[in-house]
Structure 1
């Protein structure tokens, strides 16, 4: 097997070209290979994992003398490609998670407890996003205990629960503390520690239901017209219209599969990631047309089952719900609505409130939104200002 930087670099570039990467990306990789070759001169141009680690650590820009996030990303990615070829004989072009790896507890007992908790959530079929949230808080708490000198679960007490949640306040907004408590509670229930649950109940965290402003009908019309006239790609139009018309969650739009679309019936049938409940929704003709155009003419050739893929190689499913947020705002901006920033959560409120204004019964709205419990729909009453006004009692005569 070739082991020089130049030879491995040629293999890497060829793999990127075969996978359809953009020429600008390949050009950046060639540039990184050039600098790796300069470093490799001290060992006759040969590549080793040790050399790769040294190259990846060169994150300081010689021009500014400061840390360069671009160098960190480019050099780290190149070393990953080189190492994968040296170890397996193939270039691994799979997506790697960005950012640092999450810290894990070092105590064997805590590590075992965390694994058991993960397995329990998996067996219960919780959505991946829910598992990440619940598991992340459990992991943080165990690390917090270790920082306090506690390495045995039996030594954890109620004061540690209160201190842990207090430590989160430096990073969590007050309005989000209710979510932290709600996401931490299942782990404590799993461990059957009623004393810790009692301590958790002492935390003052209230759920905030802010009133979400509805979109003006003119704004909705402009967005729909922009999608109809082709001012944005069919993929972006389909994503924005799905969020605007159906109120689907971002995770369900991202996870929509080709097999979920009934092209003849004009419907989609999914299993919601948040609740695990099945949901079937009709597709308006415009959305169906945009989906069809995207699948036939825009969607990259890929074996992925998800409908919406990255347009740049590697052509895999969109990374997360943030990608949906970016697309929705791009469509709003293209339609001329530059002063409004919205995500799928706001559009979900908007869709529900418009159904309510049209006189749709709450159980029907609950079914359309795919709520696990009909009571969840009551929060959308806050946006129906006309009905709220009818509930206001008149002031007594002469009252100030």
Structure 2
């Protein structure tokens, strides 16, 4: 096999073209291949994994003399493709996260404990996103202990729990600390350390429920018009209309599969990612029409089972809830709402509030939103101003 950078670079570019990558992306790869070829001149143009590692570490821009995140990403992804071909004979174009990889504890005891916790969550059938959240906090705590030179679980004490929570305040908003405590508690329960649970209770964090205002009916009409009249792509229109009309969570929209759409009945049926409960929802004619337009005309050819795919190659499922957030905001901006920032959470609140104003009973709203418990729907009562006014008691002597 010709292992020169030039030959391997041609193979990478051909694979990108076959996968229908955009020309601008291919040009960026060509640029990286060019600079790798310059570095490879010191070894007759031959590529080795050691050379790739050296190339990927060149993250400082010669122009500015500062760290370049773009250079790190461009060089790193090229080296991943080259290494995959050298090792397997195929170019692996699967998606990789941009962010830094999570660091795991070094202590064998902590590593085994974290592995046992992961297996327990898996066996209980927790959603993947829940496992990531709970496992991530457990991992961070164990790393925090190691930073304090504690490498034995028996040596962990209540002070370390409070110290760990305090360290989170640099990255977590005060209003989100309740979520951090709630996500950390299951791990401590799993370890059966009641002393650490007692220390966690001393944090006394409170849950904050912000009152999210409803979207003005005029704004909603503009967004629907933009979706209906082709101002945005069918994919983006379908996603936004699903958020507006059903209040589906971003994780459920992202994981919605083709088999979940029942075209003749005009419904979708899915298993919720957060609760694991089945949910069937009717679709408005416009939502169904945009879904059909996307699936029949615009959806890229792909083996993926998910409905909504990336527009750019590789044509795989959307990466996470952030992709849904970006799409929804693009639609709002295209409709003329350039100063608004909305996400699926605010549209979920909006859908619930509309149902409440229409006189729907809370159990009905709870069923539509797919809540595991009907009490979860009570938070939406805060936006029903007219109903709240009827609860006001007259002040004694107010007529004097």
TM-score grouping bracket, smaller chain normalisation: over 0.9
Task: Show CA shifts across 1:92-129 (max 9, x none).
Answer: 11111112111111111100000000011011111111
- TM-score normalised by structure 1 residue count: 0.98
What displacement does 1:338 show? 1.7
* Pairing 1:143-158 to 2, within 5 Å after superposition: 143-158=143-158
Stretch of structure 1 that moved more, 146-155 or 183-192: 146-155
What displacement does 1:339 show? 2.1
Match of 1:229 in 2: 229
Match of 1:359 in 2: 359
What displacement does 1:399 show? 9.8
Q: In structure 1, how many angstroms separate the alpha carbons of the residues matched to 2:172 and 2:203? A: 14
Q: In structure 2, how many angstroms separate the alpha carbons of the residues matched to 1:360 and 1:285? A: 21
Match of 1:241 in 2: 241
Q: In structure 2, how many angstroms separate the alpha carbons of the residues matched to 1:85 and 1:206? A: 52
Q: In structure 2, how many angstroms separate the alpha carbons of the residues matched to 1:64 and 1:322? A: 31
Task: Show CA shifts across 1:261-300 (max 9, x none).
Answer: 0011110000000000000000111000000010111111
Q: Tell me, what secondary structure is at the counterpart of 2:268?
A: strand
- The answer to whether 1:382 aligns with 2:382 is yes
Q: Tell me, what secondary structure is at the counterpart of 1:281?
A: strand
Match of 1:199 in 2: 199
- TM-score normalised by structure 2 residue count: 0.98
Q: In structure 1, how many angstroms separate the alpha carbons of the residues matched to 2:204 and 2:106? A: 31
Q: Tell me, what secondary structure is at the counterpart of 2:354?
A: helix
Match of 1:218 in 2: 218
Q: Tell me, what secondary structure is at the counterpart of 1:280?
A: strand
Match of 1:396 in 2: 396
Q: In structure 2, how many angstroms separate the alpha carbons of the residues matched to 1:24 and 1:148? A: 48
Query: What are the ranges of 5 or more consecutive residues in structure 1 without an aligned counterpart?
Result: none
Match of 1:75 in 2: 75
- Alpha carbon RMSD of aligned pairs, Å? 1.1
Q: In structure 1, how many angstroms separate the alpha carbons of the residues matched to 2:238 and 2:355? A: 21
Stretch of structure 1 that moved more, 363-372 or 160-169: 160-169
* Pairing 1:126-205 to 2, within 5 Å after superposition: 126-205=126-205
What displacement does 1:398 show? 5.7
Q: In structure 2, how many angstroms separate the alpha carbons of the residues matched to 1:399 and 1:173? A: 46
What displacement does 1:61 show? 1.4
Q: In structure 2, how many angstroms separate the alpha carbons of the residues matched to 1:398 and 1:255? A: 56
Q: Tell me, what secondary structure is at the counterpart of 1:292?
A: helix
Distance 1:399 1:82, change over 3 A: farther
Match of 1:114 in 2: 114
Q: Tell me, what secondary structure is at the counterpart of 1:150?
A: coil
Task: Show CA shifts across 1:7-28 (max 9, x none).
Answer: 1011110000000001111111
Query: What are the ranges of 5 or more consecutive residues in structure 2 without an aligned counterpart?
Result: none
Q: Tell me, what secondary structure is at the counterpart of 2:269?
A: strand
Match of 1:95 in 2: 95
